Amino acid sequence: MAPSGVEKEKIRSQDIFELDLKGNIVRAAKDESLKLTECAPLFMSAYELRDAGAVIHSHSPNVVLATMFAKRVEPGLSVLEITELEMLKGLAGHGYHDVFELPVVDNTARERDLTDSLRKAIERYPRTCAVAVRNHGIYVWGKDEVQAKTQAECVDFLCEILVKMRQNGITKDMHPMGI
């Protein structure tokens, strides 16, 4: 896992923390001033609950905007329902006519305080490969780093289209996700 609060594009291999599956640090970054990312318990949730091999966290503007359209399910939890877009086929277990339910949890002041709601969302939406965080970003996982990356690319593309559909006034007779 990456260190916290650094310029991510400058991370070197010696800056990475190695953890065991209980979340204990096995090998810390060489530079002792570096601290483990606050996302650690969130990443661990996907490893534990979904047997993930890799997890990606992003602040993609496409995703951040899409979370604002998410439909409220209950306090703290919303959902984006995405259907009839070819890129759905890129998501494990989904086809073109399926509805991909992307859970969106409310954001919190501290990243680690997202853990409970993220775990509940993972359990409630057993088919999802991602949990978004309102006004914040997304956690996406896969069985290995290749699948985590392709899932992240597909979800990002889907959110980009969702936002642009809205920008372009696509109505329900033009697409089932229209406004």
Whole-angstrom distance, CA of residue 7 vs CA of residue 27? 21
Angle at 23 between CA 21 and CA 25, to 5 degrees: 105
Beta strand pairing call for 25-27 and 18-19: antiparallel
Report if residue 107 touches its own copies, rule: CB under 8 A: yes
93: CB partners within 8 A, 6+ apart: 127
- Find the binder of its own copies among 14, 93, 95, 112 (CB under 8 A): 95
How far is the C-alpha of 79 from the C-alpha of 125, rounded, in Å? 10
Query: In the stretch 24-63, what mask flags binding to its own copies with x, by CB under 8 A?
Result: -----------------------------------x-x--
Q: Are 143 and 47 in contact (CB under 8 A)?
A: no
In the bound complex, what is the minimum distance in angstroms from residue 85's beta carbon to its own copies? 5
| Amino acid found at 127 | R
Q: Does 149 sit near its own copies (CB under 8 A)?
A: yes
Residue 57 near residue 132 (C-beta atoms within 8 A): no
Which candidate in 86, 101, 123, 153 is catalytic?
Answer: 86
Q: Which of residues 66-85 bind its own copies (CB under 8 A)?
A: 68-69, 84-85
Decide if 7 is catalytic: no
Which segment (15-23, 42-50, 117-125, 143-151) binds its own copies by CB under 8 A? 143-151
- Point out which residues bind its own copies (CB under 8 A): 7, 59, 61, 64-65, 68-69, 84-87, 95-97, 107-109, 133, 135-137, 146, 149-150, 157, 160-161, 163-170, 174-175, 178
List the catalytic residues.
86
